[in-house]
Chain A
Amino acid sequence: MKNRRTAQRSFPLMLATTLLIPGVQRAHADDLQAMMQDDKQWVMPAKDYANTRFSGLKQINASNAGQLRVAWSFSVGSNHGQEAAPIVIGDTMYVVGAYPNELFALDATTGDLKWKYSPRVDPSSQGEACCDVVNRGEVYDNGKIFYNTLDDHTVAVDAKTGKEVWATKLGEITRGMTLTMAPIVVKGRILVGNSGGEMGIRGWVTAVDENTGKIAWRAFNVGPDKDVLIGPRFHPYYKSAQGKDLGVTTWPAGRWQTGGAPVWGWLSYDPQTNLVFYGTGNPGPWNSNLREGDNKWTTTIFARDADTGEAIWADQLNPHDLYDYDEINENLLLDLPINGQTRHVLVHPGRDGFMFVIDRQTGQIYSADKYDTQTSMSSFDIKTGRPQMVAALTPLLGKNITGICPASPGAKDWQPVAWSPITHLLYIPHQHLCMDYKTGDVGYIAGTPYVGATVNMYAGPGGYRGEFAAWDLTKRKKVWAIHENFPVWTGTVATAGNIAAYGTLDRWFKVVDARDGKLLYKFHGPSGFIGQPITYQGKDGNQYIAILSGAGGWVGALANAEIDPRVRNGALGYTGAVNDLPAFTSGGSSLLVFALPSDKADARP
């Protein structure tokens, strides 16, 4: 392992603290799980360890949401794609902007700026990020805010003062690695995953001590078992995941070293079993002709022991991925009735277009149902744990293969769903795109893309490009859906007021009735939305909904960067599918915070 903590600016201070107060590293003043249950706050982007993004607040509800208006707004000052979720701790909101990743602390009720923290992020890192220079958020524990910077630092900042506590460098941009995901905190450790699936990186999850910034463990997702932390406790459900050193033997000789499997999405945690769950990204390169074999453990859901990182089970959803179907999407931990019995399941809305319901203790897949147009896989075999591929759409070197659905961003990308225990529905913001795909030769050069595919995306059948859908996990079907002109690239939130909120790239922030999808409120924002809405209660007793505006990301880079709308293959093939986007929005950087007018809010139920 190279480059353990090469930057540690405040080491002497920390050492002193440790010496003065022995045992302080073990102390946890905050009960993070209790804070997650407190709907006045929002302590992590996914709201809770189960990744529900559900709030029990109901002051804003289906009968009054039409009265919403902007209470205050704030600019994070960087017109790149804004994918971060703000978080709220007590009376303070924290929000991180896209590169250069400044962190802001604001009064959550008034919007007053308390402080900002400006890291010295290497500008060169912008050239190593595949899909705009985004950041997906920050997280809180024990008086500190933790987040990642594009140039591979994880930082800890004092939540009260904004002073840096530590900054640890976890990787090298010159090897194509960046950090864009929002970490989670489990038992005093920050769990971080890396980005760079298009750059031939070697994916990992790293646990960093929240007090010292020291690495506790690192689990690679490709390579020999000892690096992947596969040992005697590893009991995968499916045969194809059983065997020694599959992270080496399912690749042509040595190719695992540039094999990808990054972790730029979401982690969830089950305190009952002490397991963390996450999905890994695509194999490198995209050109599948160069990597015969299953390419383990790319596009895989891992269950790991939270204390040691040891692998417990793994399901590889897209063995030998052909189309860049990362499976970094979120995993919701729910207890659902399956065949008359309550099961502890993991719900994974797959990038490949299947809604997976998986036993989170064993990895057994209970069901995998298509939730959007799917032409590249005819079905998913839950007995073998493998998809049935459509042979006619297999990439051949140098041949332009047409009509592949979903396109590379999948039926759903990183943008997280929400689950309401009241409606028992899952709310899915997602895209509806197909593509032409042509593979070509590519050689690995560290620090440059390792892709080897020319992609041309376009709207899926029916002519729309995105959808906000409600899915019944028990009946295994779509209950209602709202078609959107552009891919829906925001996260969503659902509440006990029976509302769900999301945003669109053509600048609409929308609140809909969670029961039937009826539009209750919309607001034309300053720039397209790709952020994550959250909700909380201010010190004035009012409920607020907050979301960042700022078009960008893979889907919207055309709106904020120097990209030519006349060349369809730009932005890894996304340009053609959204080439009219610049007629709707430019880049932006505004946080918008909504509430009911105070006379309406005072009459809350």
Chain B
Amino acid sequence: MDSFHRTVAIIAAAIVIVVAAALALIVMPGSSPKAPRHLANGYSGVIPAGALLRVPVTGIYPGGTPAGLNPNMQNPLANDPDAAQRGMKDFDAFNCSGCHAANAGGGMGPSLSDDRWIYRSSPANIYLTIVQGRSAGMPAFGAMLPDRTVWELVAYIQSISQKPGKDFGDTTSLSPPSPGYEQVPAGQIRTATPWKYTEPMPANGAKPGG
């Protein structure tokens, strides 16, 4: 099976799994939010759409309070230690890495590696950005990706994002060179925790590692 058909097969398989999962939940309205046993890997259930509708994409609340909104909704896969690893595979399979680059350094789409966010940073914000798309070029993946896959992607993106330092702002200068370090290239190490593997940033665009 070539990669194109493999991808189609992966998508098809994922859709089957999620439709089954969704049906399982739909037939149990009002039941416990705990996942049915057959849903492995800690997926704790679908968040009601009404709750997601109340996730703000801004830090301003008229009247000064976010009361009634859900600014801090968590990833239902937050306790699944393998979710980020699966999300890394999804990130390639659905061509996220084509726009955002391997390790999400950015390119056609913005970087997701550096803790700077256009549409805000909570897991639900990232979820909504993937599902709805964004007007400046982010495609709406809601029609293609199962809910669970989206949360896996969210887990991966949370895993690879890192603030460069403790400061409020970043300084860019030639001397001293900044930021002074960089990730080991993704062609050498591909991992869901790329910030564990860094090396000094070479000067003048030289080849890394000497």
Interface residues of A (CB under 8 A from B): 123-131, 198, 252, 290, 400, 433-434, 436-438, 440-445, 447-452, 454-459, 463, 465, 485-486, 557, 561-572, 575-580, 582-584
With A127-B99, A290-B3, A458-B206 already in contact, the answer to whether A569 and B106 are too (CB < 8 A) is no
Max count, chain B CB within 10 A of own CB: residue among A437, A438, A570 = A570
**Could you tell me the distance between the alpha carbons of A344 and B137 in the complex, rounded to whole angstroms?**
45
Is there an interface contact between A400 and B4, defined as CB atoms closer than 8 Å? Answer: no
Chain A residues whose C-beta falls within 8 Å of the C-beta of B118 in the assembled complex: 562
The 9 closest A-B pairs by CB, nearest first: A127-B137, A449-B98, A567-B105, A443-B7, A570-B105, A562-B110, A441-B3, A448-B95, A563-B106
Is there an interface contact between B110 and A123, defined as CB atoms closer than 8 Å? Answer: no
Say which residue of A486, A579, A584 sits within 8 Å of B182 (CB atoms).
A579
Max count, chain A CB within 10 A of own CB: residue among B98, B135, B172, B174 = B98
Is there an interface contact between A442 and B3, defined as CB atoms closer than 8 Å? Answer: yes
- Minimal beta-carbon separation of A558 from chain B (angstroms): 9
Is there an interface contact between A440 and B107, defined as CB atoms closer than 8 Å? Answer: no
Chain B residues whose C-beta falls within 8 Å of the C-beta of A452 in the assembled complex: 3
Chain B residues whose C-beta falls within 8 Å of the C-beta of A557 in the assembled complex: 107
Chain B residues whose C-beta falls within 8 Å of the C-beta of A445 in the assembled complex: 7, 94-95, 144
Is there an interface contact between A441 and B106, defined as CB atoms closer than 8 Å? Answer: no
Chain B residues whose C-beta falls within 8 Å of the C-beta of A575 in the assembled complex: 101, 105-107
Is there an interface contact between B4 and A290, defined as CB atoms closer than 8 Å? Answer: yes
Residue of B nearest to A444 (CB): B4
Is there an interface contact between A198 and B98, defined as CB atoms closer than 8 Å? Answer: yes
Chain B residues whose C-beta falls within 8 Å of the C-beta of A127 in the assembled complex: 99, 108-109, 136-139
Is there an interface contact between B102 and A454, defined as CB atoms closer than 8 Å? Answer: yes
- Minimal beta-carbon separation of A572 from chain B (angstroms): 6
Chain A residues whose C-beta falls within 8 Å of the C-beta of B182 in the assembled complex: 565-568, 576, 579
- Minimal beta-carbon separation of B101 from chain A (angstroms): 4
Is there an interface contact between B185 and A570, defined as CB atoms closer than 8 Å? Answer: no
Chain B residues whose C-beta falls within 8 Å of the C-beta of A457 in the assembled complex: 205
Say which residue of A436, A449, A566, A578 sits within 8 Å of B164 (CB atoms).
A566
Residue B38 CB within 8 A of the other chain: no
Residue of B nearest to A252 (CB): B2
Q: List 5 A-B contacts (CB under 8 A).
A: A123-B135, A290-B2, A442-B98, A463-B206, A563-B107
Chain B residues whose C-beta falls within 8 Å of the C-beta of A448 in the assembled complex: 94-95, 98-99, 139
Residue B203 CB within 8 A of the other chain: yes
Residue of A nearest to B5 (CB): A443
Say which residue of A400, A454, A580 sits within 8 Å of B177 (CB atoms).
A580
Max count, chain A CB within 10 A of own CB: residue among B6, B92, B116 = B92
Chain A residues whose C-beta falls within 8 Å of the C-beta of B194 in the assembled complex: 567
Residue of A nearest to B183 (CB): A567
Say which residue of B95, B114, B178, B181 sits within 8 Å of A449 (CB atoms).
B95
**Could you tell me the distance between the alpha carbons of A583 and B172 in the complex, rounded to whole angstroms?**
6
Residue B179 CB within 8 A of the other chain: yes
Chain B residues whose C-beta falls within 8 Å of the C-beta of A576 in the assembled complex: 182, 185, 205, 208
With A443-B4, A566-B183, A568-B182 already in contact, the answer to whether A459 and B105 are too (CB < 8 A) is no
**Could you tell me the distance between the alpha carbons of A442 and B99 in the complex, rounded to whole angstroms?**
13
Interface residues of B in 9-33 (CB under 8 A from A): none
Residue of B nearest to A485 (CB): B204
Max count, chain B CB within 10 A of own CB: residue among A438, A441, A568, A577 = A568
Is there an interface contact between B135 and A583, defined as CB atoms closer than 8 Å? Answer: no
Chain B, residues 80-107, CB within 8 Å of chain A (1/0): the string is: 0000000000001111001101111111
Residue of B nearest to A173 (CB): B137
Interface residues of B in 181-208 (CB under 8 A from A): 181-183, 185-188, 194, 198, 201-208
Residue B51 CB within 8 A of the other chain: no
**Could you tell me the distance between the alpha carbons of A582 and B171 in the complex, rounded to whole angstroms?**
10
Residue B173 CB within 8 A of the other chain: yes
**Could you tell me the distance between the alpha carbons of A458 and B164 in the complex, rounded to whole angstroms?**
23
- Minimal beta-carbon separation of A574 from chain B (angstroms): 8
Is there an interface contact between B188 and A400, defined as CB atoms closer than 8 Å? Answer: yes
Interface residues of B in 107-166 (CB under 8 A from A): 107-111, 113-114, 116, 118, 135-139, 144, 164
Max count, chain A CB within 10 A of own CB: residue among B93, B107, B164, B183 = B107
**Could you tell me the distance between the alpha carbons of A579 and B207 in the complex, rounded to whole angstroms?**
11
**Could you tell me the distance between the alpha carbons of A569 and B144 in the complex, rounded to whole angstroms?**
26
Chain B residues whose C-beta falls within 8 Å of the C-beta of A567 in the assembled complex: 101-106, 111, 113, 182-183, 186, 194
Is there an interface contact between B139 and A584, defined as CB atoms closer than 8 Å? Answer: no
Residue of B nearest to A447 (CB): B139
Is there an interface contact between A583 and B113, defined as CB atoms closer than 8 Å? Answer: no
- Minimal beta-carbon separation of A321 from chain B (angstroms): 18
Residue B47 CB within 8 A of the other chain: no
Residue B8 CB within 8 A of the other chain: yes
**Could you tell me the distance between the alpha carbons of A78 and B109 in the complex, rounded to whole angstroms?**
18
Max count, chain B CB within 10 A of own CB: residue among A131, A456, A577 = A456
Chain B residues whose C-beta falls within 8 Å of the C-beta of A578 in the assembled complex: 205
Is there an interface contact between B207 and A458, defined as CB atoms closer than 8 Å? Answer: yes
Residue of B nearest to A129 (CB): B108
**Could you tell me the distance between the alpha carbons of A198 and B95 in the complex, rounded to whole angstroms?**
11
Say which residue of B105, B109, B178 sits within 8 Å of A569 (CB atoms).
B105
- Minimal beta-carbon separation of A272 from chain B (angstroms): 42
Max count, chain B CB within 10 A of own CB: residue among A123, A125, A441, A443 = A443
Is there an interface contact between A583 and B174, defined as CB atoms closer than 8 Å? Answer: yes
- Minimal beta-carbon separation of A409 from chain B (angstroms): 13
Chain B residues whose C-beta falls within 8 Å of the C-beta of A252 in the assembled complex: 2
Residue of B nearest to A578 (CB): B205
- Minimal beta-carbon separation of A286 from chain B (angstroms): 10
Residue of B nearest to A126 (CB): B137
**Could you tell me the distance between the alpha carbons of A130 and B7 in the complex, rounded to whole angstroms?**
22
**Could you tell me the distance between the alpha carbons of A566 and B8 in the complex, rounded to whole angstroms?**
33
**Could you tell me the distance between the alpha carbons of A455 and B103 in the complex, rounded to whole angstroms?**
12
Say which residue of B94, B111, B137 sits within 8 Å of A128 (CB atoms).
B137
